[in-house]
Amino acid sequence: MALIAFGVLNVGWLIMRPTPAADAMKSMLEARPELAAGKALIEGSDCMRCHGMQRHFVGPSFEAISARYAGEAYAVEHLARRIREGSVGIWGNVIMPRHPQITPEQSQQMAAWVMAVPPAAPEAASQVRP
């Protein structure tokens, strides 16, 4: 019985322990609180159905997006437009649906948060072939 309890505690610890990515995200939001609005908009929309933080599902991960556009002056505006208007062919044949209900200001906040996500390793940025 004690072994079962010990095993459950270990599994719980593994699941609930902070990850380096979560720590980096927390530090980023503490350093730049204006990004919290973009994070809240993403969490409240359907973005997470297709995008993960570190893994791609239907669309690329937020880390891969951040890595692909890192250092590009146009990145936030480009992503904001893609959020509102949708796209196809940017990340292979994956379709990014339109989100006309999202205002330009909201899409800018969302895109700013995505670009603030610490970029993935270079190989993750190409996880979905362009």
Annotated binding-site members for heme c: 47, 51, 96
Query: Which residues participate in the annotated binding site?
Result: 47, 51, 96
What angle in degrees, to the nearest 10, is found between the helix axes of 104-116 and 62-69? 90
The three-point CA angle 121-119-111 to 5° equals 150
Q: 48 with 114: CB under 8 angstroms? A: no
